Amino acid sequence: MGRNVVALLELAGAHGLHRAGLLALGLLSAGVALGGSQRQTIQIPSLLGDGIPAVLSVPDGPVPADRFPACVVLHGSGGLLKENQPGDPCGPDLENNYELLFQTLEARGVVVLAPNSFGRSPLFCEDNDDAFFSFVPPPFHNPGDGVPARDDAYSARRIETRTLDAGGALAYLQQQSFVDPLRICIVGTSNGGSAALVMSSNATGRHAAQFGDISQQRPHESAG
């Protein structure tokens, strides 16, 4: 993994994601706004060894001489895509907070890639039902080990899976000729934010990170 990776963590809310997007722009030193971007759903390889769907947005127009900056967006346990009700298949639209973040980054000419870790199962879009346990593939999911879906051991396996998915997304971007591999950030929310912090420590060898909980239940905090 490259060493020039920035991890940003916002725990909840559209305004927090907008703020994270603006901070990402400053860290990436993005250029002037472009005319628009093209989105598509693609398959990318996870470092776990399987393939997962991802939403890719690439700016319109010619590739700059210094190529485009890029950002990996990691969804939280509420999922990346909308669904009509729990248990329904995912729809094509991003959840509102991720739509806002995509638009913020797209407006400044940033390539955006959002791996959909929950896309391994077409039957649900978030972790608010029992089927969520099935999203963690081998070797991190072992139905016979008697581990309940919500205990610490399962949570650790879930974060490890999410981190390997994020690593696959980062590797994919680094291989694209239109992306500057030295200007890639990672933005995550909630469960995805935990994976972003793991990614940043793996990439830099440092364990300091700044994070904020924008909910009204907790004060802002920082660790460093």
**Cis, peptide link before residue 219, omega less than 30° from 0:** no
Backbone angles phi, psi at 93, to 5 degrees: -90, 145
Predicted model pTM: 0.73
Domains present along the chain, CATH in parentheses: 5-207 (3.40.50)
40: CB partners within 8 A, 6+ apart: 55, 56
Per-residue pLDDT of the chain (224 residues), as tens digits, is 333 444 444 333 334 444 454 455 544 544 444 558 899 999 999 998 889 999 999 999 899 999 999 999 999 888 898 877 666 677 888 988 999 999 999 999 999 999 998 887 665 566 554 555 555 544 444 455 554 445 566 667 778 888 999 999 999 999 999 999 999 999 998 888 888 888 776 655 544 444 444 444 444 443 33
